[in-house]
Amino acid sequence: MSPVETAVPIELSQRVTRLRPSATLAVSARVKALQNAGVDVIGFGAGEPDFDTPGNIKRAAIEALEAGKTGYAPVPGEASVRRVIAKKLSEENGIECSADDIVISTGAKQSIYLALQCLLDPGMGQQVIVPTPAWVSFFPMVELAGGEVVEVECSVANDFRMTAAQLETAINERTRAIILNSPSNPCGTMYSGGELAALADVLARHENVAIISDEIYEKLVFGDEAHVSIGSLPQVADRTITINGLSKAYAMTGWRLGYACAPAPTPAPAPGHGHGLAKAMAKLQGQMTTSITTFLQPAIIEALTNSAEEVEGMRRTFARRAIQMHGLVSAMPGVLCPKPTGAFYVFPDVSAHFNKTTPQGRRIVSALSFAEALLEEAKVAVVPGEDFGAIGHRHVRLSFACSEYDIEQGCERMRQWLEGLK
């Protein structure tokens, strides 16, 4: 008998076996595969800008590489880069911090993962509040860290924003953290300064609850409200971990550059006491990936100090597309779509079309079956909402990180397809 016939499969860990793949990445991969095969698919699934990285940022990395910046770097990032990030957060976001509070990681996703791993212990029954709909990776990251997700379902009527009363009801003695994301993926909406202050007032009464604030879309706002960082509010400043990065606003998704800001309490804790979260995150990262790529670090400085004009140009483009996408989707029969005010998504409710049959005889019974039929029959790709939380089963996510032409053509295909449902 050959070795292949007698081989015993390697047994995988239960945590990985139970791990759900990313629904958003799966849709993007399927669209690319179809397009490579010559199929005329219009993709509304992508979670990345359709712009190239500004030239000055690319040149900063190229020059650093040519200058020989190819060795190891400090685990949390070079001090000069962390000082620039701290200065940005202090001046733009009102967050009191220093370079010692900053940890640079391979994308905002790793920053969130590190924070959760440092906050949670498996088997302790610790809970993390997640207002939903929420980004698909929040749930598995909490579970991988040993925590339990407590969903707070936010309604379409309130543009998917959690109220202070909902938060108060969700908190209990097992609550360890809350994850906020404003502007929101997948919702495309954001909290006002007043709404964040009301949430902060509730959290101020629960001193053991840490706040993870994912602000990766902070510069892509186009509503009446300005972006506000909850970490700037004094009642919760020393318990807020602000997550950000360069992927979305600077069109640098493939660079994998994110950072966390976790200010230490004032006065500083004695050695061995207090949370020291930034140091803990750096310690954990030191056993995982070490530092980010060395020659990319000057590009962070260039992006944060000399690229405001390019970022504003992209923001204006997304603002036009937001109006276009919202108008077209809202006009579709039976579709309810809150107005996008940040990021580059809409998250319409399409449940009015459940229990209908498509022109090719498919039965629509869920967001997933809706998305699959739309792709097969109309060649339009959207992300089904199930993995964004309990309320998501009624919704699909559409990204407008694509051309105005694709938005027009894709929405027209979708409208015609919807009109053919019976």
| Average pLDDT per block of 10 residues along the chain, 422 residues long | 67 88 78 86 92 98 98 97 98 97 98 97 97 96 97 94 98 98 97 98 96 98 93 97 98 98 66 69 97 97 98 98 98 96 98 97 95 95 94 96 97 98 96
The pLDDT assigned to 269 comes to 52
Q: What are 301-348's pLDDT values in tens digits?
A: 999 999 999 999 999 999 999 999 999 999 999 999 999 999 999 999
Closest by CA to 187, choosing from 396, 410, 411, 414, is 396
CATH number of 70-306: 3.40.640.10
Q: Which two tokens stand for residue 252?
A: 């640098």
pLDDT of 27: 78
Distance set, CA 419 to CA 129, 393, 414 (Å): 39, 21, 9
Residue 277 confidence (pLDDT): 95
Q: How many residues does the chain have?
A: 422
Q: For tokens 């996408």, what's the residue? A: 325
CB 102 within 8 A of CB 260: yes
What's the maximum distance between 2 C-alpha atoms anywhere in the chain?
72
CB atoms within 10 A of CB 88: 20
Dihedral, CA of residue 216, residue 380, residue 384 and residue 28, to nearest 10: -50
Q: Return the sign of the alpha-carbon dihedral for residues 221, 223, 228, 230.
A: negative
Residues forming a β-bridge with 243: 214, 260
3-state secondary structure 375-405: HHHHCEECEECHHHCHHHHHEEEEECCCCHH
Helix, strand and coil percent figures for the chain, each rounded to 5: 45, 15, 40
Q: What is the DSSP letter of 59?
A: H
Extents of the domains making up the chain: 3-52+309-419, 70-306
Residues sharing a CB contact under 8 Å with residue 303, sequence separation 6 or more, in sequence order: 54, 57, 246, 250, 252
Angle between helical axes of 55-66 and 297-306 (0-180°, round to 10): 150
Q: Does domain 3-52+309-419 have CATH number 3.90.1150.10?
A: yes
Residue 382's closest CA among 392, 394, 393, 368?
368
pTM for this entry: 0.94
